[in-house]
A and B are shown apart, each in its own frame.
Chain A
Amino acid sequence: MRRWAKRIGLGLLAFVAALTVSAAIYDGVSRGGLPADTLYAGPYVQVDGRSLAYRRWGDHGSPIVLIGGFLEASDVWRSVGPLLGRTHRVFALDLPPFGYSERKGPYTLDAWLDEVEGFERALGIVRPTLVGHSLGAAVAVGEALRHPHGLRGIVLLDGDALREGGAPSWIGALAVDPYFTAVYRMLTGWNWVFRRGLSSAYGAYGPKLTQAELDRWQRPFYVAGTAAAFAQMLPHGIQGYALADLRRVKGVPVVVAWGEHDTTDSVQAGRTTAKALHAPFVLLPRAAHLSMLVDPGGVARAVERVAG
């Protein structure tokens, strides 16, 4: 009996050792850890010792700041940006650790709010309309709570700004190298994972999932420090506010807009948030979660309800 136990124990040990070695080798040879500027040419701006990537459109009119959600680089605004840019100065920010902004924590809501404010200071943006998509909606609400007079208004797009439980705190402890990096790189290099995620987020009317389209979404994962950043962010879960906090938003015009086929964040959740904020609720036809890439015209009109 003890002999068998010993054999199984040794077998397991050998397996773990082999796994560790192969994970380490995989980490060594797989792609990762590239400087952001080799993946995205810019523009970048230095804010509090961090390099933040952004995009901009338009050169006149009241300013609009666009904030993407979880895993979203500022290129998700590539269709909406030019539409709004005809009559506004439009800035889309890569919220770290997404897109091409420097991977430097902490990745908390408070830190994101500081970054947005620093970004606005650095670029001379005064009293913008703040548009937050998905997780970015919480950032928009956060700014409305912090500086109601510093905003023309906020637009919540496919994001209810509410926090969701999040992972238990020990989950971060599981993110141990070399396994975590190996698993991270396998998943992020795997087209199937992206195809599945994107076809649900785009719905039936999104852009075609060509290799070029998949690349757009995969490329930011190769920025140096991304895996570690995700490990650090994981225990926080989906950050946001309580419904009672939303009711404290005062004196800031709000519009909530939603893709009617959104399954990532339900239309019902959007209605509840709109109600708590006493905001108009705009339902966008055909669009799912990534409404800005399916119905850019509808999204631009919703933003202009606030931005003018």
Chain B
Amino acid sequence: MGRSPSGPFLSRLRRCPPPPSAVRPRTIEAFRTPDERFAGLPDYPFAPHWLELDGLRLHYVDEGAGDPVLLLHGEPTWSFLWRRVIPPLAAGRRVVAPDLVGFGRSDKPTDAGWYSYDRHVATIEGVVRELGLSRLTVVVHDWGGPIGLRLAVEHEDLVERLVILDTGIGAGSAPSETWLRFRAVVRELGGELDIGRLVAAGTAQGLTDDVRAAYDAPFPTPESKAGALAFPELVPTEPEHPTAAAMLRVRDALQHWRKPALVVWGAEDAVLPPRVAERFVELLPNAQGPLLLEGASHFLQEDRPDELAAAILEFAG
């Protein structure tokens, strides 16, 4: 992985709207991945769209027209993850796939302390608000789960249905032994973390070199990975964890979320095993599934994109 000097790409951006003159403007340091890193990616022809939120530039894919589908990626991916799901969904629907702050083509605050559950949720709320999205089908994967599920329970009027993929929500304990090993690797490697390799390890079919490179693309330097390094620390591994209370609230609210939901899972996911999928089906009153895709691991969008798209289309009607 090339390690280009970060200086020229480090932009100073204001996070908040201009504060009263008495208060000194607060700025945050954020890394902006150069555009040329995203040139010629495989199966990713989508034009970039941008939003300015709290002084950070946010990137999203916006394809097709009709009732909107919001695709929320998680750790450590970006909208590229959905590239083979977007075209079939965009025939007849508007598909919006944002890159979370710290990921993909969105700005990446370099201070790991910037990242929190609340901030990620606020960003996605900002996308929904700025684009005026309603009647949403929200598709969540990995960390997109806690974010998108909270959007669903806190803005029930905007969300029509949920598609839940290989994710988890606030149990106050580690998701699995495999996940603990993953966190240990992230902590040990820090900025040297090999993102493409991490994604490849979460697939059953493996990744080609160009696809792996596309997952590396957003992160050319150690400090660009702050968001990816922060996510494992935000997972509530014990009941006293700072994120635990908020996530448990979401989980409790989901027990009363009566709109339709579909649970689809990689049958070979070792990080979040299929029994987690079964718990989601038990948790939500009107959940279907789980549909377990054999030949798919955690990143089922890589292993079985066609079957995933077909399942979403059938569910969303």
Binding site for B on A (CB under 8 A): 257, 260, 271, 275, 278, 280-286, 295, 298, 301-302, 305
Contacts and interface: CB of A to CB of B under 8 A. Distances in A.
Contacts of B18: none
Contacts, number: 45
Interface string B269-311: 0000010011001000000111111110000000010010000
A282 B288 contact: no
Given A260-B307, A285-B295, A285-B304, 6 more contacts: A278-B281, A280-B290, A281-B289, A281-B291, A298-B294, A305-B274
A-B pairs, top 7 by smallest CB distance, nearest first, are A298-B294, A285-B295, A282-B292, A284-B294, A280-B290, A281-B291, A280-B292
Nearest to A255: B292
A295 B281 CA distance: 26
Contact of A280 (B268, B274, B295, B307): B274
Interface residues of B, number: 16
Contact of B277 (A257, A280, A283): A280
A282 B35 CA distance: 40
6 contacts: A271-B291, A280-B274, A281-B291, A283-B292, A298-B267, A302-B292
Looking at A271, A282, A295, A302, which has the most chain B CB atoms within 10 Å of its CB? A282
B289 A298 contact: no
Contacts of A284: 294-295
A259 to B, nearest CB: 10
Looking at B278, B289, B292, B307, which has the most chain A CB atoms within 10 Å of its CB? B292
A298 B295 contact: yes
Contact of B290 (A260, A281, A298): A281
Looking at A260, A280, A281, A302, which has the most chain B CB atoms within 10 Å of its CB? A280
B158 to A, nearest CB: 27
A282 B289 contact: no
B294 A281 contact: no
Contacts of A305: 274
B294 A275 contact: no
A285 B294 contact: yes
Nearest to A260: B307
B274 A283 contact: no
Contacts of B292: 280-283, 302
Nearest to A291: B294
Contacts of A260: 307
B36 to A, nearest CB: 36
Contacts of A285: 293-295, 304, 307
Contacts of B304: 283, 285
Looking at B267, B289, B304, which has the most chain A CB atoms within 10 Å of its CB? B267
Given A260-B307, A280-B274, A283-B307, A302 B294 contact: yes
B289 A301 contact: no
A280 B289 contact: yes
Nearest to B304: A285
B262 to A, nearest CB: 11
B294 A280 contact: no
Contacts of A281: 289-292
B290 A283 contact: no
Given A260-B307, A305-B274, A283 B288 contact: no
A298 B288 CA distance: 22
A295 B288 CA distance: 25
Given A260-B307, A301-B267, A305-B274, A283 B294 contact: yes
Given A260-B307, A285-B295, A301-B267, A280 B278 contact: yes
Nearest to B205: A285
A305 B290 CA distance: 13
